[in-house]
Amino acid sequence: MRILIVGSLGGQLHTATKIALDRGAKVSQVDTIEQATAHLRAGRGADLLMVDLSLDVQALIAANEAERISVPVVACGVNVRPEAAAAAIRAGAKEFIPMPPDADLIAAVLQAIADDERPMIARDPSMQAVIQLADRIAASDASVLITGESGSGKEVMARYVHSKSKRASAPFVSVNCAAIPENLLESELFGHEKGAFTGAIARRVGKFEEADGGTLLLDEISEMDIRLQAKLLRAIQEREIDRVGGTKPVKVNIRILATSNRDLRKAVAEGIFREDLLFRLNVVNLALPPLRERPADILALAEHFTKKYATANAIEERPISEAAKTQLLAREWTGNVRELENAMHRAVLLASGREITPDAIRMPDGSAFTGSGNSVARQAADAAQSVQTDMIGRTVAEVEQDLILNTLDHCLGNRTHAANILGISIRTLRNKLKLYSDQGLDIPAPNQPATGASVA
């Protein structure tokens, strides 16, 4: 996390800086609000501004907004009157931290503002297979296209890839291509020179340069105008960009990640996405399954969110009752992880007994929470329960054989994927399959279902 301290904060600057550094943050410091905006405009970047309340917090926020720079602000001060702290919050500051600094308070604010506590939680085999692929390619500089439905965790996966890469200590910069107006996105990506257009009052470094040495995430890239896609393709190919109004190219050293919740091949067929750009981005595709197809992840994520929001709201942590778990598994979760997180946040606030029961799991308007009994998650959960019951009275070898063959069938005969899911070596898997084949069993061939298959 990158923190920019603005002002001297009296005699407490050194202490506050040390606390932030001890929490793993990278800290820079400037004296004035003008220097702060210039720091951000120059592409040095920050994830959080800690601003001395004696400065004009409102003017700093307004100056940043005029430059389309969105960085959360925390106001700080020594012997500050409550009304002054409240005024800073009304001006747009996210929080106020009194000085001298309290280590636990700063840690809590940094965590809340940065929202870095988004671990990659994956218990379901389908999601674990995606993570295993991510682990294998993370250290490279290959471009990665992360696809999946809205709310399925694409940005979390992007941050995970960055954290496992050789660029992990360098900046991770994200651009939401769908949230920035078309006429401003080029400047946001590539920057601009002073006077390049009306309102360009100074040189502005774009996200490509801000991410230099690190990772640039192009979030929802499918929403980018096709004319800008040509400039993006050149930037990715040549690893250099042209600022709007600039006279010479600027070299950049970045790794590109992109996300999309749309079928980009269909977008190519419709003429709204460049095929050559798709090929350039799609060196590796991490396809995230929707939550309804990851039943083992539903409960793991639900338990994580209950702990997170119990802590955030200073509420006693409660376990999820069995009836509530059944209800969670029965829902389709069209909003995926984002919808589940909101549901569990509400449940933490509404629960009254020793457990989180079904009556605490409600819709945003407080109405009853319903699920579809035909959901894939519910069927998978029922199947898992049935399998557990069927294991009784069988030998370990029999259960192991069914597990291996069912997993291989699920992977359409792909030995490597099956071995990864099973957690065994490919050599062990092949030895087992040869044993089963010698016993006269049908073994799925690569890219074929189990029926009628035999060992090649």
Judge whether 289 and 153 are in contact, CB under 8 Å: no
| Residue 422, in any domain of the structure | yes
- What is the model's pLDDT at position 198? 67
> Are 150 and 280 part of one and the same domain?
yes
34 vs 80, residue with greater confidence: 34
The sheet carrying 284-287 orders its strands as 172-176, 215-219, 255-260, 144-147, 284-287
Residue 306 burial (CB < 10 Å; 0-12/13-18/19+)?
buried
Per the document, the length of the chain is: 456
In this prediction, what percent of the chain has a pLDDT beyond 70? 87
Mean pLDDT computed over 51-56: 86
Task: Assign residue 73 the CATH number of its domain.
Answer: 3.40.50.2300
> Are 265 and 356 part of one and the same domain?
no
Task: Assign residue 300 the CATH number of its domain.
Answer: 1.10.8.60
> Are 283 and 134 part of one and the same domain?
yes
Task: Assign residue 144 the CATH number of its domain.
Answer: 3.40.50.300
User: Is 228 a residue whose pLDDT tops 70?
Assistant: yes
The band of 12, judged by pLDDT with boundaries at 50, 70 and 90, is low
The band of 373, judged by pLDDT with boundaries at 50, 70 and 90, is very low
User: Is 367 a residue whose pLDDT tops 50?
Assistant: yes
Helix (H, G, I), strand (E, B) or coil at 168: coil
Residue 444 burial (CB < 10 Å; 0-12/13-18/19+)?
buried
> Are 151 and 268 part of one and the same domain?
yes
Q: Give, rounded to a whole angstrom, the gap between the first and last alpha carbons of the chain.
A: 52
Among the candidates 79, 114, 149, a domain finishes at 114
230 vs 11, residue with greater confidence: 230
303 backbone dihedrals φ, ψ, rounded to 5° = -65, -40
Judge whether 268 and 297 are in contact, CB under 8 Å: no
User: Is 115 a residue whose pLDDT tops 80?
Assistant: no
| Residue 318, in any domain of the structure | yes
> Are 237 and 134 part of one and the same domain?
yes
The band of 343, judged by pLDDT with boundaries at 50, 70 and 90, is very high
- What is the model's pLDDT at position 390? 56
User: Is 291 a residue whose pLDDT tops 90?
Assistant: yes
- What is the model's pLDDT at position 203? 75
> Are 154 and 266 part of one and the same domain?
yes
Among the candidates 233, 266, 287, a domain finishes at 287
| Residue 300, in any domain of the structure | yes
pTM: 0.70
Mean pLDDT computed over 210-235: 92
Distance CA 399, CA 404 (A): 9
Mean pLDDT computed over 320-343: 92
- What is the model's pLDDT at position 92? 87
> Are 172 and 34 part of one and the same domain?
no
> Are 152 and 214 part of one and the same domain?
yes
Q: Which of 291-295, 393-397, 451-455 has the highest mean pLDDT?
A: 291-295
User: Is 67 a residue whose pLDDT tops 90?
Assistant: no
Distance CA 169, CA 6 (A): 23
Mean pLDDT computed over 105-134: 78
| Residue 370, in any domain of the structure | no
Q: Could you tell me which residues come within 8 angstroms of residue 79 by beta carbon, excluding any fewer than 6 positions away? A: none
Residue 370 C-alpha from the chain's centroid: 28
> Are 53 and 181 part of one and the same domain?
no
Whether residue 171 is preceded by a cis peptide bond, meaning omega within 30 degrees of 0, is no
| Residue 76, in any domain of the structure | yes
> Are 152 and 277 part of one and the same domain?
yes
Among the candidates 114, 147, 176, a domain finishes at 114
The band of 205, judged by pLDDT with boundaries at 50, 70 and 90, is confident
- Choose the weakest-confidence range: 100-114, 352-366, 397-411: 100-114
Of 247, 252, 220, nearest to 235 (Cα)? 252
Provide the residue range defining the domain that includes 322.
291-360
Judge whether 251 and 208 are in contact, CB under 8 Å: no
| Residue 377, in any domain of the structure | no
Mean pLDDT value across the chain: 83
Q: Write the single-letter amino acid at 279.
A: F
User: Is 295 a residue whose pLDDT tops 70?
Assistant: yes
Distance CA 374, CA 238 (A): 50
Q: What one-character DSSP code corresponds to residue 369? A: P
Task: Assign residue 412 the CATH number of its domain.
Answer: 1.10.10.60
Tokens of 254: 């970045």
Distance CA 339, CA 328 (A): 11
Distance CA 414, CA 421 (A): 11
389 vs 251, residue with greater confidence: 251
| Residue 384, in any domain of the structure | no
pLDDT tens, 159-176?
999 999 999 988 899 999
| Residue 369, in any domain of the structure | no
Distance CA 21, CA 40 (A): 20
Judge whether 166 and 205 are in contact, CB under 8 Å: no
13 vs 40, residue with greater confidence: 40
Domain count, the chain: 4
Q: Is the dihedral angle over the CA atoms 127, 132, 138, 143 positive or is it negative? A: negative
The sheet carrying 2-6 orders its strands as 26-30, 2-6, 48-52, 73-78, 95-99
Lookup result for tokens 């595709």:
285
Mean pLDDT computed over 309-319: 88
Q: Is the dihedral angle over the CA atoms 88, 89, 93, 96 positive or is it negative? A: positive
User: Is 140 a residue whose pLDDT tops 80?
Assistant: yes
> Are 60 and 158 part of one and the same domain?
no
The band of 425, judged by pLDDT with boundaries at 50, 70 and 90, is confident
User: Is 440 a residue whose pLDDT tops 60?
Assistant: yes
For residue 129, CA distances in Å to 122, 136, 295, 419, 420 come to: 10, 11, 15, 10, 7
> Are 93 and 23 part of one and the same domain?
yes
DSSP for 318-364? -PBPHHHHHHHHTS--TTHHHHHHHHHHHHHHH--SSSB-GGG-B-T
- What is the model's pLDDT at position 447? 59
